[in-house]
Amino acid sequence: MTTTTTTTTTPTTFPATAAHAATARRSGADISARLTGAAALGFGATVVAQNIIRGGAAPANDAPATEVLTHYADHRALTFVLVSTFVVGGLSLATFLGGAARQMLTSVRRGWAITGVVGAVGVLGLFAVLVSSEEALSVMAGRDQPDVSAIEAVWTLHNSIFTVLLLSIAVALLGLSRGGVAAGITPRVFDRLAPIGSGLLVVGTLAGPAIAAGENMAFFGVSVVGFAVWLAFLSTTGVRLVRSAGAR
């Protein structure tokens, strides 16, 4: 008696090839280096624009409530502009974080990259509260009988939030720069510059009560230097990412 054995062949699953990966990149499956760099540059540009728009006409931190009331009553359109730039800046920052984290988390400094992302999320959250306080001031100033004491309270809160925001920027700068250097998307000079810039930003937070009250504004000037380092990080990293995409 002859026994016939039937062999069933199971199809073999092969891993994705380089061609498949290239197709995925072309189809926009993830955030590209070019988009990541453009988002960094876009976020930096909106931050500069916001400070120019706000700084040119905004009352001083220690301005009387009546002056703050008059400013927001006369500049309601300016609040709409600031909200619009916040939307653009927020989307840009989120896109930059997504694309940059994808590269930084494969480096030897994953912990620093995560630290930077935490700081940047804090930046986005606190800046949202800051813009919300601008909206509240604009709404209260536009009422028939605005409450001057409420205006004063919200203005003080607005200034206080800004000083706390500086700490989140410091954390984002330190973590993202170290992660970026390790991933090759940030110039190595930021291994030295970022800790200095972060330290200067922290000075602004530590002096927050005085700065919010409009006193000892020299400490605010110190934090501005750290803020410039943050902008330099965004611009140089953004340019490097865009150029790296063009070289491929």
At residue 218, the 3 state secondary structure works out as helix
Residue 27, pLDDT above cutoff 50: no
Q: Are 39 and 89 in contact (CB under 8 A)?
A: no
Most confident of 6-15, 53-62, 166-175: 166-175
* pLDDT in the model for residue 4: 45
* pLDDT in the model for residue 5: 46
Residue 54, pLDDT above cutoff 90: no
Residue 139 corresponds to which tokens in the numbers above? 């709404």
* 75-to-69, 137, 141, 156 alpha-carbon distances in Å: 10, 11, 10, 19
How far, in Å, CA of 39 to CA of 45, rounded?
Answer: 10
How far, in Å, CA of 190 to CA of 240, rounded?
Answer: 13
Task: Give every CB contact of residue 229 below 8 A, 6+ residues apart in sequence.
Answer: 173, 193, 194, 196, 197, 198, 200
Residue recorded with tokens 């940059």:
100
How far, in Å, CA of 70 to CA of 59, rounded?
Answer: 10
How far, in Å, CA of 113 to CA of 84, rounded?
Answer: 29
How far, in Å, CA of 101 to CA of 105, rounded?
Answer: 6
How far, in Å, CA of 49 to CA of 237, rounded?
Answer: 19
Residue 123, pLDDT above cutoff 60: yes
How far, in Å, CA of 4 to CA of 37, rounded?
Answer: 64
Helix H or strand E encompassing 19: helix 18-26
Round to the nearest angstrom and report the end-to-end CA distance of the chain.
66
Nearest Cα to Cα of residue 54 among 147, 152, 128, 131: 131
Q: What is the mean pLDDT of the chain?
A: 89
Note the pLDDT tens digit of each residue in 181-220. Answer: 999 999 999 999 999 999 999 999 999 999 999 998 999 9
How far, in Å, CA of 205 to CA of 199, rounded?
Answer: 10
